[in-house]
């Protein structure tokens, strides 16, 4: 965040009058403090409102623990799957010519353009007891909606653009000459991928994985629709925060929120690091 | 290894990039693939290497049909136009790559690989750079590393796509000579792409002229220069002056010594190389005027204007040795007589 601000300052010294500069900076900073820093601080204050012990005991409640476990489980399943999917999609789009390519590119972005609630509803329509495939699942005694599989599916859907979105522009820019060179030197396709492609895309890939993970752990809307809010069973951490808050258990709610906020901060730091790494790499590549 | 292409065609959508290409290249030749931009040189090279699939036709290497073989199975070294060095690997690792990815059964030991890599780097005279990364090299150095990397797998055919395309003129000259010597030493059947006719003539033992996806002519540099098969080749290889019969009077053709044979029609065009035009100073009333000249090292390039019967004028270029030009003691605006020693007629 601070990097972005200092860059603006340098650019605007070129021509803007001083007062324009300072008022813009003040507005931007004010906004950030009011809408980002204050709420974050409030979360922490509320979480510790009844002391450190209350905070710890809120975190160690079985419901809270179950919510954290479910959130981790969801991320553990969806992030690797979407990493593989993202790489495959980016590969197909940047390395092959085929009919329907533009449609695929558009479809990859679909989860970004549809409201998460709608995404959740789609899964209810598909797999719910009244849904299209509901009967089949009912007969085979498989519960998707209001159960863990539904949560995983919804998260999978919501987070699938992240990795592909990071890789497609990079792989387009890189071109396939190095890969072709590797093949012409006798390398197999797999070796080419692990020895040539992967080292070149690793930072962008990690960046995509990071964003994918942050969203997988933080997703609320779609998961809320399919979860059914069953305590200890189908509540992810964001859902547990909401449930606790609605039940006036504010320490629990804010303790959970503080974990999510901490996750966000860690993500932000890693994200900055990865951005810096990518920029460095591109700078040397373009020499 | 000999290369035989028969009936190769390639379409990109509706666009026909290559059209019925037939080509035979005997073992050990150094062939230049020459043609204007977009004529299909890179496409042809990529098809031979297996980086692109041909729509029809066959590719035989040493008599063996390799049309369906994957790139990695063709044993062809490919040097890319922009080098395509592995940017995250050192020069050493780049060159060693081809040996390291071999199957376990045939892979040399790491010490053998190191020995061979250093030998190759010495061959391209860059062993001292083995620890550098590609972005720390100059263009000419990258070029040579790309070549060393391709040679590491002992390819039976070497394909080079505009090997000197991105380099400045003096580096190009050096590398041309160097490539020819290297080819002498290794004797690998090689094809290199260029759109610089001078480069093709200087380096290659055979030249293949390509235009709009078709082969116009194949032959030794001398053949192609002295006996161009058609107007395109004549114009593309070296400079020519074009004289269309209908634009001049037949008298004038007689006067400058151009004989008009039976096949010549109104639309026939005589192609005359600048060095096949001789000029002499005259006081007669001739329609040719000396306009200007430029020094091209040992030669002088002379710009003349010829008034046409139609009232327009045409620029004519002649070339002659410096000394000879000095002896003529010409100045701008002088009237001159032309003698044309040799012309190619295209109908
Ligand atoms: N992948 C592709 N899709 C569509 N058209 C292509 C493709 N590759 C090449 N072409 C077309 O085929 C023609 C031949 O291209 P090619 O790259 O072989 O030309 P070239 O002779 O190597 O030209 P240059 O000297 O500019 O490199 C060009 O008109 C090009 O636009
Ligand atoms: Mg090309």
Summarize pLDDT for A116-128 with one digit per residue, the tens: 999 888 888 888 8
* pLDDT at residue A14, rounded to an integer: 55
Residue A281 has pLDDT above 80, yes or no: no
Helix axes A250-285, A237-246, angle to 10 degrees: 150
Q: Which residue shows structure tokens 């043609």? A: B35
- Given a cut of 70, whether residue A284 has pLDDT beyond it is no
3-state secondary structure of B195: coil
Q: Which residue from A minimizes the CA distance to B98?
A: A185
pLDDT confidence tier of residue A186, bands split at 50, 70 and 90: very high
Q: How far apart are CA A162 and CA A155, in angstroms?
A: 12
* Nearest Cβ partner for B80 among A181, A191, A195: A181
CA distance A151 to A161: 17
A188 to chain B nearest CA, in Å? 7
Three-state SS for B126? coil
Distance CA A76, CA A70 (A): 10
Q: How far is the CA of B252 from the centre of ligand 1 (A)?
A: 44
Percent of chain B as helix, strand, coil, to the nearest 5: 30, 30, 35
Which residue has a Cα nearest atom 26 of ligand 1?
Answer: B37
The distance of B72 to chain A (nearest Cα, Å) reads 4
By CB atoms closer than 10 A (0-12, 13-18, 19+), residue A4 is: exposed
For tokens 């809270």, the residue is A64
| Atom 2 (ligand 1) nearest CA | B12
Q: How far apart are CA A120 and CA A109, in angstroms?
A: 16
Other C-beta atoms lying within 10 Å of the C-beta of residue B182:
20
Looking at all shown ligands, the one closest to residue B40's CA atom is 1
Beta-ladder partners of A264: none
Which residues in chain A have Cβ-Cβ distances shorter than 8 Å to B82?
177
At residue B252, the pLDDT reads 78
Pocket lining: B37 vs ligand 1, CB cutoff 6 Å: yes
How much is the pLDDT for B315?
87
B101 to A182: CB separation less than 8 angstroms, yes or no: yes
Of A78, A79, A86, A84, residue with least CA distance to A108:
A86
Q: State yes or no: pLDDT of A233 exceeds 90.
A: no
pLDDT at residue A285, as a whole number: 54
* Strand B189-194 to B30-34 pairing: parallel
Residue A4: what pLDDT? 47
**Minimal CA separation from A170 to chain B, in Å:** 15
Nearest CA to ligand 1 atom 6: B12
- At residue B121 the predicted structure's pLDDT band, cuts being 50, 70 and 90, is very high
CA of B59 to the centre of ligand 1 (A): 20
Contacts of B76 in chain A (CB under 8 A): 184
Contact between chains at B84 and A187 (C-beta distance less than 8 A): no
B101:A187 CB<8 A: yes
Mean pLDDT, rounded, for A132-151: 83
Residues B264-280 pLDDT 10s: 777 888 889 988 888 88
Give me the DSSP letters along chain A: -HHHHHHHHHHHTTT--HHHHHHHHHHHHHHHIIIIIHHHHHHHHHHTTTHHHHHHHHHHSHHHHHHHHHHHHHHHHHHHHHHHHHHHHHHHHHH---TTHHHHHHHHTHHHHS-HHHHHHHHHHHHSTTSTTHHHHHHTT---TTSHHHHHHHHHHHHTHHHHHHHHHHHHHH-SHHHHHHHHTT--HHHHIIIIIHHHHHHHHHHHHHHHHHHHHH--HHHHHHH---TTTT--HHHHHHHHHHTT-HHHHHHHHHHHHHHHHHHHHHHHHHHHHHHHHHHHHT-
Cross-chain Cβ contact B101/A185 below 8 Å? yes
Mean pLDDT of chain B: 88
For a pocket test of ligand 1, which of B15, B34, B38 has the largest count of ligand atoms closer than 8 A to its C-beta?
A: B38
User: How many Å apart are CA B275 and CA B272, to the nearest integer?
Assistant: 8
Predicted pLDDT at B314: 84
Say yes or no: ipTM exceeds 0.85: no
Does residue A98 sit at the B interface (CB-CB below 8 Å)? no
**Looking at A134-148, B98-112, B212-226, which range is the least confident one?**
A134-148
**Which residue is closest to B138 within chain A, CA to CA?**
A287
**Chain B CA closest to residue A199:** B88
Q: Quote the minimal CA–CA distance from B166 to chain A in Å.
A: 14
Choose among A31, A29, A34: nearest CA to A8. A29
Q: Relative to the CA of B40, which ligand 1 atom is closest?
A: 18
How do residues B130-164 score in pLDDT, each as one tens digit?
Answer: 999 999 999 889 989 999 999 999 898 999 998 88
Q: With 80 as the cut, is the pLDDT of residue B51 above it?
A: yes
Mutate to test the pocket of ligand 1, among B39, B163, B193 (most ligand atoms within 8 A of CB): B39
Answer whether A200 sits within 8 Å of B87, measured CB to CB.
yes
In angstroms, rounded to a whole number, what is the distance separating the alpha carbons of residues B316 and B257?
A: 16
| Nearest-ligand number for the alpha carbon of B39 | 1
Residue B101's φ and ψ, nearest 5 degrees, are -90, 5
Give residue A1's pLDDT: 41
Reading the block at residue A116, the tokens are 């998460």
Please report the DSSP string for B153-188 in residue order. T--SEEEESSTTTTS-HHHHHHHHHHHHHHHHHH--
Flag whether pLDDT at A12 surpasses 70: no
Please give the average per-residue pLDDT across B308-332, as a whole number: 85
Share of chain A above pLDDT 90, in %: 46
Q: Tell me the pLDDT tens digit for each residue of B197-228.
A: 888 888 899 999 999 999 999 999 999 988 99
CB B192 within 8 A of CB B30: yes
Name the closest residue on chain A to residue B76, using Cα atoms.
A184
Residue A173 has pLDDT above 70, yes or no: yes
Contact A239, A224 (CB under 8 A): yes
Cβ–Cβ < 8 Å for B2, B27: yes
Task: Give the three-class secondary structure for B291.
Answer: strand
- Smallest Cα–Cα separation from A159: which of A71, A234, A66? A71
> What six digits make up the tokens of A3?
């990097």
Phi/psi region, residue B259 (left: phi>0; alpha: psi -120 to 50; beta: rest), is beta
Give exposure, A253-267, as e/b (b: 16+ Cβ within 10 Å): bbbbbbbbbebeeeb
Name which of B233, B229, B326, B320 is nearest B275 in CA terms.
B320
Q: What is the pLDDT of residue A3?
A: 47
List the helix and strand counts (H, then E) for chain B.
10, 18
Beta pairing, strands B76-79 & B64-65 = unpaired
The pLDDT-based confidence of A141 (bands split at 50, 70, 90) is: confident
Confidence (pLDDT) at B109 = 92
* Residue B225 to chain A, least CA–CA distance (Å): 34
Instruction: Please list every residue in chain A whose beta carbon sits closer than 8 Å to the beta carbon of residue B97.
Output: 182, 185, 187, 195
């Amino acid at each position: 965040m601070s990097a972005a601000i200092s860059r603006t300052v340098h650019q605007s010294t070129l021509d803007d009058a001083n007062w324009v500069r300072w008022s813009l900076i003040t507005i931007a900073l004010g906004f950030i403090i009011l809408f980002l820093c204050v709420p974050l601080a409030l979360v922490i204050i509320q979480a510790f409102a009844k002391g450190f012990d209350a905070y710890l005991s809120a975190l160690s409640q079985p419901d809270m623990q179950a919510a954290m476990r479910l959130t981790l489980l969801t991320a553990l399943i969806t992030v690797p799957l979407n990493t593989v999917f993202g790489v495959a999609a980016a590969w197909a789009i940047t390395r092959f010519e085929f009919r329907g390519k533009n449609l695929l590119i558009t479809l990859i972005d679909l989860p970004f353009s549809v409201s998460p609630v709608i995404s959740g509803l789609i899964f209810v329509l598909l797999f719910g007891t009244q849904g299209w495939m509901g009967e089949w699942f009912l007969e085979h005694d498989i519960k998707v909606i209001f159960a863990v599989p539904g949560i995983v599916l919804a998260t999978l859907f919501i987070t699938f653009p992240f990795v592909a979105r990071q890789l497609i522009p990079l792989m387009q820019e890189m071109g396939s000459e190095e890969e072709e060179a590797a093949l012409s030197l006798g390398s197999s396709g797999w070796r080419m991928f692990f020895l040539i492609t992967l080292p070149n895309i690793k930072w962008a890939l990690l960046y995509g994985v990071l964003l994918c993970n942050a969203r997988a752990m933080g997703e609320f809307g779609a998961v809320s629709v399919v979860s059914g809010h069953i305590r200890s069973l189908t509540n992810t951490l964001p859902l547990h925060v909401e449930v606790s808050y609605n039940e006036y258990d504010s320490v629990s709610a804010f303790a959970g929120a503080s974990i999510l906020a901490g996750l966000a901060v860690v993500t932000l730091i890693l994200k900055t690091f990865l951005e810096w790494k990518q920029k460095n790499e591109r700078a040397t590549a373009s020499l | 290894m000999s290369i035989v292409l028969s009936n190769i065609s390639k379409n990109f959508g509706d666009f026909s990039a290559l059209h019925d290409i037939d080509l035979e290249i005997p073992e050990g030749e150094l062939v230049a693939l020459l043609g204007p931009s977009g004529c299909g040189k890179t496409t042809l090279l990529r098809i031979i290497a297996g980086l692109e699939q041909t729509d029809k036709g066959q590719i035989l290497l040493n008599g063996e049909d390799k049309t369906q073989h994957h790139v990695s199975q063709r044993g062809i070294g490919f040097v890319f136009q922009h080098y395509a060095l592995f940017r995250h690997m050192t020069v050493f690792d780049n060159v060693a790559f081809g040996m390291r990815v071999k199957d376990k059964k045939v892979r040399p030991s790491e010490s053998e690989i190191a020995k061979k890599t250093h030998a190759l780097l010495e061959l391209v005279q860059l062993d001292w750079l083995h620890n550098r990364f590609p972005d720390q090299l100059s263009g000419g150095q990258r070029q040579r590393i790309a070549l060393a990397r391709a040679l590491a797998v002992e390819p039976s055919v070497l394909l080079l796509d505009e090997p000197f395309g991105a380099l400045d003129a003096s580096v190009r000259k050096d590398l041309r000579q160097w490539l020819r010597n290297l080819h002498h030493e290794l004797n690998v059947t090689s094809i290199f792409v260029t759109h610089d006719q001078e480069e093709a003539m200087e380096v290659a033992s055979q030249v293949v002229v390509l235009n709009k996806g078709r082969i116009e002519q194949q032959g030794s540099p001398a053949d192609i220069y002295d006996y161009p098969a058609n107007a395109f080749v004549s114009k593309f290889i070296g400079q020519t002056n074009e004289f269309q019969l209908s634009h001049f009077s037949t008298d004038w053709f007689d006067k400058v010594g151009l004989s008009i044979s039976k096949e010549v029609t109104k639309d026939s065009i005589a192609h005359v190389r600048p060095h096949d035009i001789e000029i002499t100073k005259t006081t007669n009333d001739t329609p040719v005027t000396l306009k200007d000249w430029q020094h091209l090292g040992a030669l002088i390039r002379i710009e003349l204007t010829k008034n046409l019967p139609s009232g327009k004028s045409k620029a004519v270029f002649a070339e002659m040795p410096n000394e000879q030009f000095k002896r003529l003691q010409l100045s701008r605006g002088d009237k001159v007589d032309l003698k044309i020693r040799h012309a190619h007629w295209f109908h």
